[in-house]
Amino acid sequence: MDFDALSYRYPSRRSVVYGRRGMVCTSQPLAALAGLDMLKRGGNAVDAILAAAVSMTVLEPTSNGLGSDAFAILWDAGTKSLYGLNGSGYAPRALSVEAVRKTGCTKMPDRGWLPVTVPGAPSAWAELHRRFGRLPFAELFEPAIAYAEDGYAVQPVTSLLWQRAEETFEPYRDEPAFQPFFETFLQSGAPRPGAVVRLPDHAAALRKLAATGCESFYRGEIAAAIDTFSRRTGGALREEDLAAYRAEWVTPVQLRYHGYDVCELPPNGHGIVALMALNILQKLGRLADRDAEQTVHRQLEAMKLAFVDGQEYITDPRAMKMPVAHLLSDAYAAGRAAEIGEAALLPKPIDPDCGGTVYLCAADGEGNMVSFIQSNFKGFGSGIVIPGYGISLNDRGCSFRLDETAANVLMPGKKPYHTIIPGFLLKDGAPVGPFGVMGGFMQPQGHVQVLMNLIDYGLNPQEALDAPRWQWLGGRKIELEPGFGRAVADSLRRRGHEVTVNPDATGFGRGQMILRNREGVLAGATEPRADGMVAAW
């Protein structure tokens, strides 16, 4: 029987999934099951999220890998406290604005060695487990190793992203630095839905990481292999850069929004952009109708203003020129809200690329909850893969600017503006649950819309993720999903918005969430824009 696994002509409905003893939500069903398996073995939410995250590097290599960065927000039931972990890396010590310009580039490129920063995900896994994990670290790698060695069937949306990546990387096919990428991921072309993929080199790397607590990635055999390939093919990344790196524990930032505390990680991530937009919207008063063009218009205008300031000021916190406290202050929000009128504003544009990222969350029956996000940045990242290990390296450095006056200017050892943002919701100091919407610059836009759906419009978790979304692309350009209807699109055009109705759901983010009620029952949701699954116990 032949059928198209990417064609769905009729509306479908997913239900909220409930569980009591544990839950894992991911964009790949096999990863969710890997996490659930750890809960059933006696592990906690951290063990579950790590098993799922490691598996995601195998199951959705289009969006993340062993060379990714990772951020996390964790609610620890024992201490009744919220913790943040920043697993983003910095630019190599040998990389500078001058060095980039000598290559002939006038801006940071998307692919190749120049945008590669020190990967943070393996260190983040080790740090999370060291502080909060329960099962043996190596045990968390078992599902991913099995998927990589024995093979797994590719899911439909992952297949689509793989096919698009094949077109993107075709111009690099003959360049020596990209040969391992083609040999690892495109030796037989991009896999179709249901095709079986095996990644033996990736499995070998996972075994070494499991055995060494990820030390070999930064201070051992894998670090040496990265250094060797970098020197041979023109990269700036060195063993010394890797050896100096450790993921960093940070304090989440919070904004009170209509009775809830919305929590994000502080810069260099751009989670504060979502908080800034929500704070501006609070100053405009409650918007009664979720689907009205007035609501969409005000949401868009608040998001534009927050993004403009985020792009101007967010960078490595050591180089921030504007305090986070000011950007989240009532005075800032009131001033920006006063600029919003009936017509579309024309702020400075941003890069609309939706990026390559995975978001996942987990909870256990004890009350521990984790919001976790892991990313190459753009699909398959830099396109640089370490031979013999299958490690695809990120392209996070393409966010740097080459303007020496910019806050986010490239500097050796500096972390770039970062788009991945795990979210967490509290009420009166108690955990409500983790949430996230993956996808580059869509992420804060997704956070704002999903949170307003939950808090302001009373949608259930699945409805909040399913609801049609808008996306600002820069200038006055916006995209709407078809669910808003023609009347809303036409009304926004009359306000000056340049509206495109885009039926391709992959550009509007892909999210998951878990909410916990007073009785400790978990309610999970994962949206139809991905291949996702809620695995509950």
Among 355, 491, 390, smallest CA distance to 62 is for 355
Q: How far apart are CA 223 and CA 241, in angstroms?
A: 9
* Strands 81-87 and 69-76, bridge-based pairing: antiparallel
Catalytic residue among 357, 405, 506, 526: 357
The residues, any chain, with a CB within 8 Å of residue 89's CB and separated by 6 or more, are 69, 117, 118, 119, 120, 245, 394, 396, 415
Distances (CA, A) of 210 to 52, 66, 119, 125, 129: 14, 12, 17, 10, 12
Rounded alpha-carbon distances, angstroms, from residue 513 to 69, 73, 177, 291 = 21, 13, 38, 22
Residues 225 and 235: their CA atoms lie apart, in Å, by 13
**What is the residue whose two structure tokens read 């209509």?**
258
Closest C-alpha to 381, from 185, 145, 199: 185
Spatial neighbors of 228 by CB under 8 A, at least 6 apart, are none
| Two tokens, residue 233 | 């093919």
At position 59, the amino acid (one-letter code) is L
**3-state SS string over 230-259?**
HHHHCCCCCHHHHHCCCCEEECCEEEEECC
Contacts of residues 159-162 at CB distance under 8 Å and 24 or more positions apart, as own/partner, are 159/5, 159/6, 159/190, 159/191, 159/192, 159/193, 159/195, 160/6, 160/506, 161/62, 161/63, 161/356, 161/379, 161/506, 162/62, 162/190, 162/191
The reply to whether 357 belongs to the active site is yes
Active site residues: 357
